[in-house]
Structures are given as C-alpha cells and as structure tokens.
Amino acid sequence: MKKPSTNTDHYEGALQEDMSHKISLVLEALEPLKSVPDDVRQLKEDVSQLKNDVHVIREVVTDQNKQLSNHERQITAIKGSL
C-alpha cells in the first residue's frame, strides 16, 4: 500500500527538482570549457614553434653581424692600402 504524500514529500520533491535544474544550468555553463585542453595543447605547440623560429632568427642575425663586421674590417684594410 502506498503511503499518503505529505507536505514534507512535496517540499523534498520541489527541492530535488530545483537542484536538478541548477545542476543542469551548471553543466550547460561548463560546456565551453571542454575545448580548453585542446586550446592549451595548440598554444603550447605554437609557442614551441615560435621559440624554434626565434632561435633560428637569432643565429641568422648573429651570423649576419659577424659577416658585416668582417666586411667592415676588409673595407678598412682596403682603404688603408690605397
């Protein structure tokens, strides 16, 4: 036999329904965060590539500066011999 419902039963049912609704809202609000790990992984890859590019650029600029300095010495030597 089913027990008769009471005000407490109705209150608990209303609370349960309200909590279910609030949990659904929280889950919906968190939905966009699912892509964060993928975004972070892509950013790490991009930063790593940029670091490699900067390293290469630094080496090229250093080499160009050495060549320029060498050319300046050669020009100075040529001018001195004229």
Q: Which two tokens stand for residue 21?
A: 């609704």
Question: Mind giving me the DSSP string for 15-29?
Answer: HHHHHHHHHHHHHHH
Q: Tell me, what's the pLDDT at 2? A: 60
If one compares 35 and 67, the residue with the highest pLDDT of the two is 67
Q: Tell me, what's the pLDDT at 9? A: 83
Place of tokens 């790990």: 37
Q: Tell me, what's the pLDDT at 1? A: 56
- Whether pLDDT at 63 is above 60: yes
- Whole-angstrom distance, CA of residue 50 vs CA of residue 42: 12
Q: Tell me, what's the pLDDT at 42? A: 94
* Nearest residue to 40 via CA among 48, 29, 31: 48
Please write the tens of the pLDDT for every residue from 18-47. 999 999 999 999 998 888 899 999 999 999
Q: Tell me, what's the pLDDT at 4? A: 62
Place of tokens 């089913």: 2
